[in-house]
Amino acid sequence: MAHQEEEARRSRVVVNTPTSQREVVRSEAVKYPEREGVSGGVLAAIVVGVVALAAIAVLFLMNRQQQDANANVASQPPQTTIVQQPAQQPPVVVQPPAPATQPAPVIFNNPPASTGTATSGAPNDSSIQAAIDKKLSNDPNLSSLGIYATVVNGKATITGTVRSEAVKAQVERAVRSVKGVKSVDNQIIIG
C-alpha cells in the first residue's frame, strides 16, 4: 500500500447566536497521494528518444542495403558486347575496357572488295573507326578515359565511363567532328 501524505488543519470559529456565543474548533484533514512515478516531461523525453533511435536504426539499415547493392554491381564481371554488322561485312567484336591500362582489342576482318556501289571519296566504317580512335588517343584530355567507339554504316556508338556531363559532351563533340560520321549514339555512363 502506498504511503500517503496527510496534512491537518485546525481552525477556531466563534459562532454568535441570539441567545449565546460559543467557540467551535474545526479540524480538517487533507490527504495527498504519494508522488512517485514518472512525470509527463520525463515520459515525453523517453518517447522522443525511442523514436529517434528507431529512425536512426531504419536509416542505418537502408544505408547498409544500398552499400550491399553497390558492392554487388561493382563485383559483376564485365560483359562482352558483339555488334552485328550488315551482311556485306563480318561482325566486329568489341570487348569492354580491361582493368589494366591496355585498351581492349577490337577485332576487324577485312571487308569484301568494293563492288563500285560506294560513292568515291566517302570514307568506309573502318577508316572512320581509325580516325575516331586516333582523335581520342591524340587528345590528352580524352586519351586516359577508356572510351571506345564502334562504327556501323557511318553511325558511331561510343561507350565508357566519365566523371561529368561536360566530359561526356566533349567526347561526343570530338567523335561528331570526324569526317564520315553520320550520327553518334552516346552510351557513355557518368560515374
What's CA 32's distance to the chain center, in Å? 60
Evaluate whether residue 115 is within a structural domain: no
Position 99 in a domain: yes
Q: How far apart are CA 171 and CA 156, in angstroms?
A: 12
What is the C-alpha to C-alpha distance for residues 65 and 63, in angstroms, rounded to an integer?
Answer: 5
pTM of the model: 0.38
What are the backbone dihedrals phi and psi of residue 148, each rounded to the nearest 5 degrees, phi first?
-120, 145
pLDDT tens per residue across span 96-123: 665 555 555 666 665 555 544 445 566 7
Print the domain residue range for 144.
Answer: 81-109+123-190
Spell out the per-residue pLDDT of the chain, length 191, in tens: 445 556 667 777 777 888 888 777 777 776 766 666 667 888 899 999 999 999 999 999 998 888 877 777 666 666 666 666 555 656 666 766 655 555 556 666 655 555 444 455 667 898 999 999 999 888 888 888 888 899 999 999 999 988 899 999 999 999 999 999 999 999 999 88
Note whether residue 47 is domain-resident: no
> What domain count does the chain have?
1
Residues 105 and 56: their CA atoms lie apart, in Å, by 49
- CATH code assigned at 90: 3.30.1340.30
Query: Would residue 139 count as lying in a domain?
Result: yes
